[in-house]
Structure 1
Amino acid sequence: MEHRIKELRTSSGWTQEQFAEKLGVSRQTIISIENGRYKPSLELAYKISKLFGLTIEDVFIFEKESE
């Protein structure tokens, strides 16, 4: 799963710490998400997209899994 979180966060002028505070998570969580080491829960993905005023599909790029 790819995403636009870092791009959107930086264009909003937020540091990782500020972004984490807005979402109620740790800065380490934001670092892990941005580096692709952690996939956010559906609830967190929804909070992230809502914070940017976008749909989940506008923030996250879901790739089809091979069958």
Structure 2
Amino acid sequence: MAREALVRGFGETVRRLRLERDYSQERFAELCGLHRTYIGSIERGEKVVTIVTADKLARALGISLTGLFAELEREQP
């Protein structure tokens, strides 16, 4: 998978999971301990996250890091 597609797909996965939990970007950012604009950048595929940030996102979504990556893989063509 190309880098850009992977980063974009990760952001789309995070956005979908966030919306499924009915979190605003602001509330989700609070749960993650991150800034709201950074969450927006991740969701738009503008930022490549570290493994530490991916773990924060997963925990705030109530899933494991493995679960987050499984969701990403399931959504990719």
TM-score, with length taken from structure 1 = 0.77
| Correspondent of 2:53 among 30, 35, 44 | 44
**Number of paired residues?**
62
Structure 1 or 2: more strand by fraction = 1
Q: Which residue pairs with 1:65 in the alignment?
A: none
Matches of 2:26 and 2:62 in 1, distance apart? 20
Alpha-carbon RMSD across the aligned residues, in angstroms, is 1.6
Matches of 2:66 and 2:14 in 1, distance apart? 12
Q: Between 3-12 and 48-57, report the one with greater CA deviation.
A: 48-57
Q: Which residue pairs with 2:3 in the alignment?
A: none
Alignment pair present for 1:33 and 2:33 = no
1:6-50 residue CA offsets vs partner (Å, 9 max, x unmatched): 000011010000000111111110010000000111101011112
TM-score, with length taken from structure 2 = 0.69
Aligned 1:8-23 pairs, distance under 5 A: 8-23=17-32
Matches of 1:28 and 1:53 in 2, distance apart? 21
Q: Percent identity?
A: 29
| Correspondent of 2:33 among 24, 40, 46 | 24
